[in-house]
Every structure is written in structure tokens, then in C-alpha cells.
């Protein structure tokens, strides 16, 4: 009988210990999974907001260029209207031709009036969009604060267990040294988040960064450059600097030239779109055996401020403070802790550290129209992505 009772006691103890060990193993697995999910969620949250900022930055550039194109089109249309008016004036007494040119001039004048009104409304609409995008970027940046990212990770981690905590200094007290000090340093370093790695810049006061990006975008497309090529200084651009130019001449008789440019002044609000077109003629003087001076037959001018009643342009945008090493902006740690009640010690915790990376990466599948895969990280291209990486803590192997 004593042997049976002893065997029964040993069996019950073994079952009890096995149950506790099983619970501890299960709990450890839950903590690991929760840490991985939390780290990846925090990095994904960050990457998505960086991509949102990149999309809005690209929209700011595209909208600003669209305003320049509208200004160039109105300038060209005014030049065409004046030219049509001159032709109608000189041909008004010619049968049939006079009626045709007069009708054509009326059509052009009507198109000009409608285009000017439409352009003014569109430019004011772009101004409103620019303000909304600036507010969107501010909201996206607020979402990158450490407390906000931690809250996202906490919600994900607690889907694995209500008692799980994440990135809490108080929960590291039971971690042995030197790991406790390393973990404390890691959590303090969380204050250096993506929020602090970005800055809000103002176009026109950024040493030409935004204006240079607009210029490179224009130069990349030959058709766009033809309409928007011109001076890029505060001084008025010369007609010879534009892209809407052609020349026609008859030897020793007459010469025509068409000139047109669109000027992009580097003003603080990134506005300053001004465009001008003109058609000139000069005749050859047989007595002097030299060409005479140029005379303007028709011309037209337009600028964004007058068309819209005041174009505010791109006032603010968001960019990186400095280029990240290896295009990795930051790493997001997730230290998940849970009470280790399975071992009977109320002060013991089960802890696991996972880490995710937020980096800029142009996928290999992206070919046409994509930036170089070896190019620097940018908040003007939406190629930020998240991924789990091997945890690394300063001072620990």
C-alpha cells in the first residue's frame, strides 16, 4: 500500500510539473509570436506613413507643374488670339477670306475667355489641394511619434494575451544584467523615431531643393520641357531661353521667328510661374544690304498670380533630415513581457525582443519609370517597406 501511494504521488507530481512546464512553453511561444507581430506591425505602420508622405510630395510636384502648364497654355492662346486679330484686321476687305478670318478670330477669342476662367478656377483648386496635402503630411508625421507607434504595437500584441506589455521600462527590472541595462538603453533610444528623422521644409527657402526637383522632372520629359523651359532665376527670363521656338526665312527677303518661354522664379511659395510668347518679323534692306530690326506681330503673356488672384503655390512639404545609411531609416524594437505565473514567482517575467526594419527599397520588378535601385532614399518615391530583422542591442553580443 505505501508503494502504491508513493507511486500515485509521484505520478500526480509529474503530471503537475508537466502541466506547468507545458504552460510555460506555451506562454513563451505566445510571447515570441506577439513580439514578432508587434515589431512588424510597428514597422509597417511607419512605412505606410512614409509612403503616404511620398505620394503627397509627388502630387505636390505634379500639381505645381500642372499650374505652370496652364500658365504656358494661356500665354500661347493669348498670342494666338492677338495674331488672329491682326490677320482678321488686315484681311477684312478681302472677299471670303475676311469673313473666314473674322470668324476664326471670334472662335479663338471665345476659347481664350473660357480657358482663362477655367485656368483661374483650376489654379485656386490646386492651391486648396496643396493645403490639404500639407495637413495630410502633418497628420502622417504625428502618427510616427513613438507613443503612437507603441500603441499600435500594443494593440497587436494584446491580441495574443491581455496581460502582455510592450516596451515598458518597469517590466525590465527582473531581466538580469547586463541585459537589463541594454534593454533600458534600447527603450530610451526609441525616442529617436521616424518622427525626428523627418523635417518640414518650405519651398523657396530650402536652398533650391524643391525647385531643383521640379526642374529635373520637367527636363526628364521633352514634351513637357518644350512648354515649360525657361529661366529659373528671380530676374525676368529672356525669350531666347524658351522651348516654344521656331524660325522661318526667305533668303534676302523676310524672316519670321516665334519665341516662347515659361519662367519659374524660386519664390518662397514656389510660385512665380510666368509665361510669354511672341511672333516677330524683320525684312532685308537691299539699300543697306543688311537685315532690319525685329518687329513684334503678335504676343501674349500670363502668370499664375493674375490668373488666379494670387497663387500660393507649394508652401510646405516633408523630407528626410539626412540620408540614412544603407537606406535603412530606423529599426523598430518590440520588447514583449508577460508575468511568468507558471513558475510561481509573481515577480518573474517572460520576455522576448523582436525587431523590424524600415528601409527604402526599389523592387527589382519595377522597371519602366522607376528610380534607380541604387539611388538614395527619398520621400518623393513610395518605396518604403518593413521587414523583421535579427535583434541587435548595443553592448550585447
Other beta carbons less than 10 A from residue 72's beta carbon: 28
Return the closest-CA partner of residue 255 out of 210, 225, 292: 292
Q: 259 near 240, Cβ under 8 Å?
A: yes
Please give the full DSSP string across 93-153, using - where no structure is assigned: TSTTHHHHHHHHHHHHHHHHHHHHHHHHHHHHHHHHHHHHHHHHHHHHHHTTSHHHHHHHH
| CA quadruple 72, 75, 78, 79: dihedral sign | negative
Largest CA distance in the chain: 142
Q: Residue 196: what pLDDT? A: 86
pLDDT of 394 reads: 55
The sheet with strand 384-389 has its strands ordered as: 165-166, 328-339, 349-360, 384-389
At 182, is the secondary structure helix, strand, or coil? helix
Alpha-helical segments (H) within the chain = 2-90, 97-142, 146-157, 179-189, 209-220, 222-228, 304-308
CB 271 within 8 A of CB 304: yes
pTM: 0.84
CA 125 from chain centre, in angstroms, equals 19
Phi and psi at residue 331, to the nearest 5°: -120, 140
Question: Do the beta carbons of residue 317 and residue 209 sit within 8 Å?
Answer: no
Helix axes 2-90, 146-157, angle to 10 degrees: 130
Residue that is written with C-alpha cell 520621400 in the block? 379
293 vs 291: CA distance, rounded Å: 7
HSE on the CB side for 365, CA within 13 Å? Answer: 1
Please list the pLDDT of the chain residue by residue as tens digits (397 residues): 565 544 544 545 444 444 344 444 455 788 889 999 999 999 999 999 999 999 999 999 999 999 999 999 999 999 999 999 998 888 888 888 888 989 999 999 999 999 999 999 999 999 999 999 999 999 999 999 988 999 999 999 999 888 888 887 665 655 656 666 666 666 666 666 788 899 999 887 888 888 888 888 898 888 899 999 888 777 777 788 888 999 998 888 899 999 999 988 766 555 679 999 999 999 988 888 888 899 999 999 999 989 988 888 888 899 999 999 889 998 898 888 887 654 444 455 677 888 899 999 998 887 777 888 788 999 999 999 999 998 876 554 4
Residues ≥6 apart with Cβ < 8 Å to 311: 67, 123, 127, 269, 271, 273, 304, 305
What is the predicted pLDDT for the residue at 357? Answer: 93
Question: What are the cell numbers at 100?
Answer: 473666314
Identify whether the C-beta of residue 71 lies closer than 8 Å to the C-beta of residue 307: yes
Indicate the burial class of 262 (C-beta count within 10 angstroms; 0-12, 13-18, 19 or more).
buried
Residue 291: count of CB within 10 angstroms of its CB: 14
Structure confidence at residue 22 (pLDDT): 42
Closest CA to 327 of 52, 47, 38: 47
Find cell 525616442 and name the residue.
Answer: 191
- Tell me the C-alpha to C-alpha distance, in Å, between residue 132 and each of 57, 126, 199, 202, 217: 12, 10, 18, 15, 23
Amino acid at each position: 500500500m505505501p508503494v502504491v501511494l508513493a507511486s500515485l504521488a509521484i505520478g500526480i507530481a509529474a503530471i503537475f510539473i508537466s502541466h506547468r512546464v507545458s504552460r510555460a512553453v506555451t506562454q513563451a511561444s505566445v510571447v515570441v509570436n506577439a513580439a514578432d507581430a508587434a515589431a512588424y506591425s510597428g514597422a509597417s505602420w511607419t512605412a505606410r506613413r512614409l509612403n503616404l508622405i511620398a505620394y503627397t510630395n509627388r502630387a505636390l510636384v505634379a500639381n505645381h507643374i500642372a499650374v505652370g502648364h496652364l500658365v504656358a497654355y494661356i500665354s500661347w492662346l493669348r498670342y494666338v488670339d492677338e495674331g488672329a486679330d491682326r490677320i482678321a484686321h488686315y484681311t477684312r476687305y478681302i472677299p471670303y477670306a475676311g469673313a473666314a478670318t473674322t470668324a476664326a478670330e471670334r472662335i479663338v477669342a471665345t476659347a481664350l475667355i473660357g480657358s482663362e476662367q477655367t485656368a483661374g478656377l483650376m489654379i485656386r483648386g490646386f492651391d486648396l489641394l496643396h493645403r490639404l496635402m500639407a495637413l495630410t503630411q502633418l497628420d502622417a508625421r504625428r502618427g510616427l511619434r513613438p507613443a503612437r507607434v507603441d500603441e499600435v504595437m500594443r494593440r497587436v500584441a494584446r491580441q495574443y494575451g491581455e496581460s502582455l506589455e510592450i516596451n515598458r521600462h518597469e517590466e525590465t527590472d527582473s531581466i538580469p544584467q547586463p541585459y537589463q541595462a541594454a534593454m533600458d538603453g534600447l527603450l530610451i533610444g526609441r525616442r529617436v523615431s521616424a518622427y525626428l528623422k523627418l523635417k518640414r521644409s518650405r519651398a523657396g527657402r530650402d536652398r533650391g531643393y524643391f525647385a531643383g526637383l521640379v526642374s529635373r522632372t520637367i527636363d526628364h520629359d521633352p514634351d513637357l520641357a518644350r512648354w515649360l523651359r525657361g529661366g529659373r532665376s528671380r530676374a525676368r527670363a529672356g525669350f531666347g531661353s524658351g522651348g516654344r521656338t521656331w524660325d522661318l526665312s526667305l533668303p534676302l527677303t523676310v524672316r519670321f521667328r516665334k519665341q516662347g518661354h515659361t519662367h519659374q522664379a524660386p519664390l518662397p511659395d514656389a510660385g512665380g510661374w510666368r509665361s510669354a510668347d511672341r511672333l516677330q518679323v524683320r525684312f532685308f534692306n537691299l539699300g543697306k544690304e543688311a537685315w532690319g530690326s525685329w518687329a513684334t506681330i503678335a504676343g501674349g503673356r500670363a502668370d499664375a498670380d493674375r490668373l488666379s488672384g494670387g497663387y500660393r503655390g507649394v508652401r510646405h512639404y516633408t523630407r528626410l533630415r539626412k540620408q540614412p545609411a544603407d537606406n535603412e531609416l530606423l529599426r523598430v524594437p518590440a520588447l514583449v513581457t508577460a508575468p511568468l505565473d507558471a513558475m510561481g514567482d509573481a515577480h518573474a517575467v517572460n520576455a522576448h525582443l523582436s525587431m523590424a526594419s524600415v528601409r527604402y527599397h526599389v523592387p527589382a520588378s519595377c522597371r519602366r519609370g522607376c528610380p534607380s535601385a541604387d539611388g538614395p532614399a527619398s520621400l518623393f518615391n513610395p518605396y518604403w517597406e518593413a521587414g523583421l530583422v535579427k535583434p541587435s542591442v548595443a553592448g550585447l553580443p
